[in-house]
Chain A
Amino acid sequence: MNQDLFKYILRWADNSLIHGQRLAQWCGHGPVLEEDIALTNTALDYIGQATNLYKYAAQIEGAGRDEDQIAFLRDEWEYYNLILLEQPNGDYAYTIARQFLFSTWYYLVLVEMAESKDEFFSGFATKSAKELKYHVVHSRDWVLRMGDGTEESNQRIQTAIDAVWAYLPEMFEMDALDNRMVEHGIGVDFKKIQPLWRTQVEAVLGEATLRTPADGWGHSGGKNGKHSEHLGYILAEMQFLQRAYPGAKW
């Protein structure tokens, strides 16, 4: 098995699954019906993307596991998602701030990944980028609406953006595995997309009459299995059924 490739696929798959799982928690709790539907639709896109990625991971691993076993039978330290994505949803402003800053990044990532030499990644990215466009537009519209809204909404979204900011450096970290994947023409160089991301984010924050926070210390480690305390709770809820009744089918 290609260990590098397997772990690299899992990073993307775990991002999608954990983000999808978090967004799905809004189901039935959205501030208005349309938003409830919007976030659960978005969650569905991410869970679908995760399924596609886990299937590919299972194929590369070649150990007879399927996508469900990889998703439901791994523990925290075997999960490689960004720490940002496992953070609790907070208020609607926090969810939107995370959604905007992450999806703006992920859309740019997918556009790059569409050029990957790996046939799966290029196909996956081309498809997923179409879905991401809608996530970017949706969350951007809400950042503008809240930022340029009332004093209360402006303050809420600003607080949320400030709170999310320390989780963003991890999105642009290039570790040895990322570098090897770029060398092989498979992976994405996050440093390359950073300036473009920055320009796009600053433009929206500016239009929304919000401050771009100062860069500083950032959380790190999720990509290598070191997580905040929140991931365990997500896994406990998500994996309970398969742990209690192994192999249970819907």
Chain B
Amino acid sequence: MVIELAYAIEHIWEWMKEVEDPEIPVLNVIDLGIVRDIKYQGETLIVTITPTYSGCPAMKTIETDIAEILEEYAVPHYRIETVLSPAWTTDWMSDAGKLKLHQVGIAPPTGYSADKALLMGKIRTIRCPICGSEDTQMVSQFGSTACKALYKCENCLEPFDHFKCI
């Protein structure tokens, strides 16, 4: 008997764009680079995801939302696996994702994450997403979610979130 694989992998990647990040709903899980792999193992579809932060409280919701989409398309057998390695990095965020962040007033991650600049006390210039000024100041490395830092703009005086590089 020939087993017909119902859906092509590339379609499933497209569906994943419907899964929003529950904390920053403007981004979907593809923008964030959370979905690492989609493949069939025999008849079972395996979707591999990775958390942004170890304690990211959104992971459970994201897993449920992915399962819901797969159910909607009546995928008969699937499994959602979580991996820690390779470790998630903001470098995986899509340009589309960064643009969307900017549009809702969150300064997107800049440059590359894999350096020790942070430990050496070097702070990158973050542009204010509201007025565009570079005259900004970090208020706290920790913001409204694990992935964001809190900044304020010295020019337009507005506080804003920055999606920090990791």
Contact = CB atoms under 8 A, between A and B. Distances in A.
A48 B51 contact: yes
Interface string B105-122: 000000001001011010
A38 B84 contact: no
Q: Is the interface of B mostly helix, strand, loop or mixed?
A: loop
A41 B147 CA distance: 9
B143 to A, nearest CB: 7
Interface residues of B, number: 28
A44 B141 contact: no
B140 interface: yes
A21 interface: no
Contact of B118 (A41, A120, A128, A134): A134
Contacts of A122: 85
A128 B164 CA distance: 15
Contacts of B86: 123, 126
A49 B164 CA distance: 19
A47 B142 contact: no
Given A45-B146, A130-B166, A123 B85 contact: yes
A119 interface: yes
Q: Is the interface of A mostly helix, strand, loop or mixed?
A: helix
Nearest to B84: A123
Given A131-B166, A136-B119, A137-B119, A124 B56 contact: no
24 contacts: A34-B150, A37-B140, A42-B142, A44-B53, A44-B55, A44-B146, A45-B53, A45-B54, A45-B55, A45-B146, A47-B55, A119-B85, A120-B84, A123-B84, A126-B86, A127-B54, A127-B84, A127-B85, A127-B87, A130-B87, A130-B166, A131-B166, A136-B119, A138-B141
Interface of B: 51, 53-57, 83-89, 113, 116, 118-119, 121, 139-144, 146, 150, 164, 166
